[in-house]
A and B are shown apart, each in its own frame.
Chain A
């Protein structure tokens, strides 16, 4: 489903940072992959490269067989197949929860008003806030906003969902409701790449855990392997710091 080969990315402003160094990994359809690592390790950059919000400078990134680093690729078409959920929700504040979910369906998928509406209501039901359809984002709690954001991404019927620290900006009591939605998605077989600090989620849901440090993938393994018998020193150090 996702094939990342020898990807490099360097930021030059404000000073030179090697964000991704020779990253190679494969994510199969239906797999839930959790990416963890200390801050600045390049995990968010990797995720953002997967739908070309950041342009990787060399290597290949294939989404469903399409190389998104090829300049001839219609990136908008690929992005419609790749849902993304952001740390800071990024809901459209001038639109209601329902309109947030229908907008891209109408504009990108060219669905009829009724169909988009129907889909949006179905998804709002699924994330458990159908009663908030007509409410603007600033009147929703953080957890509710993030659930709307997940519904917004799902409305495009994506093949992959990318989660960029979806619970990091939430109050502790709201983290559970968002993770619950994500667990449901995982159970339904959605392909997911999740950058998170929620080790409980990783342990429970992930098929594989990727540990990154200083722009490189240090260790990959199943959650059991990862949390019980990590091999690399840096992984051990990181786990000892957060667990």
Chain B
């Protein structure tokens, strides 16, 4: 039944739509009014610089002397400064030249300056959140796939390992897990690596590992439920044709389970993106941490936290759209 026809008069239906917007605007209005009451000054114009800012790049002289020669190459300009005892060549971009041949130069003088656009700290944070989340999703799905299959295995080693892993992860807070990954495992691994003169692993990867393992446990349960929701007759039919367990999984069970797994998986991915906001505590400058830093310098917390929330909303919304698209594609005929 159309929702509209539940109302005797269409006027009532549109009336209630009006109520919806009224409540929405009233809430926003109340918020705005109370910020005025505490003399908060909204400065939205200060926000764009945290998305894109103009960086001023200056090239300064280190020695004193005279500009001997300025020569242009294809992409750059070289400035040769000759001092009483030594000479140096500075390479700068075209334009923005502040000196001419024959000028006297003292150390610290600006030879050339130009400005360029750089992604602001919020965009950098957003990018890092996206990157961390995507890597964690990929590994989380892999862990979850094998975890889920191990969970329903008849082999006690696989089965109990999967159960232990899932229960440990689901039974402890993510924040604690991140601390364990960074302060316990991270210290262990990096110290061992250092003793063997190997590269150190950056906090980013411990953060990714924490998120991937966390998501993996939930994905494993989703995968298990998805596989078990496929009727036993499917396995029996496949096996009766002589397929091995693996062939049956790959060709018969998993393709069918995928369709049922996708909606809860999308929810898990969205949680993961939101949970990545905790990684700020181990010095990964993702979106939330970036926002916190900007707030301390700009002193515009209201605008920035709203912006931060909206940026997360954009990520999660895009993801849920993508999964809906996959779901439509996976539907048979």
Q: Which residues of A are at the interface with B, using a C-beta cutoff of 8 A?
A: 51, 53, 76-77, 79-84, 86, 88, 90-94, 103-104, 107-108, 136, 138-139, 149, 152-153, 156
Contact = CB atoms under 8 A, between A and B. Distances in A.
A92 B237 contact: yes
Contacts of A86: 233, 236-237
A88 B247 CA distance: 22
Given A90-B234, A94-B256, A107 B240 contact: no
Contacts of B236: 53, 84, 86, 90
Looking at chain B's contact residues, is the secondary structure mostly helix, strand, loop, or mixed? helix
B264 interface: no
Contacts of A136: 332-333
B48 interface: no
5 contacts: A79-B240, A84-B237, A88-B233, A108-B242, A152-B237
B47 interface: no
A156 B251 contact: no
B70 interface: no
Contacts of B234: 90, 92
Nearest to A149: B237
A203 B105 CA distance: 114
B252 interface: yes
Given A51-B240, A104-B241, A152-B241, A93 B332 contact: yes
Interface of B: 231, 233-234, 236-244, 247, 251-252, 255-256, 259, 332-333
Given A91-B237, A156-B241, 15 more contacts: A76-B239, A76-B244, A77-B242, A79-B242, A84-B237, A92-B234, A93-B332, A103-B251, A103-B252, A104-B238, A104-B242, A138-B332, A149-B237, A153-B240, A153-B241
Given A86-B233, A90-B236, A93-B256, A76 B242 contact: yes
Contacts of B256: 92-94
Nearest to B259: A94
Given A93-B256, A94-B255, A108 B241 contact: yes
Nearest to B248: A107
Contacts of B237: 84, 86, 90-92, 149, 152
A92 B252 contact: yes
Contacts of A93: 256, 332
A80 B243 CA distance: 8
Contacts of B241: 79-80, 103-104, 108, 152-153, 156
A94 B332 contact: yes
A76 B259 CA distance: 28
Given A94-B255, A94-B256, A94-B332, A107 B233 contact: no
Contacts of A76: 239, 242-244
Nearest to A82: B240
Contacts of A84: 236-237, 240
Q: Among B231, B237, B243, B255, find the residue whose CB has the most chain A CB atoms closer than 10 A.
A: B237
A83 B241 CA distance: 7
Given A53-B239, A77-B242, A86-B233, A107 B332 contact: no
Q: Among A77, A90, A91, find the residue whose CB has the most chain B CB atoms closer than 10 A.
A: A90
Contacts of A80: 241-242
B79 to A, nearest CB: 68
A142 to B, nearest CB: 14
Contacts of B251: 103, 107
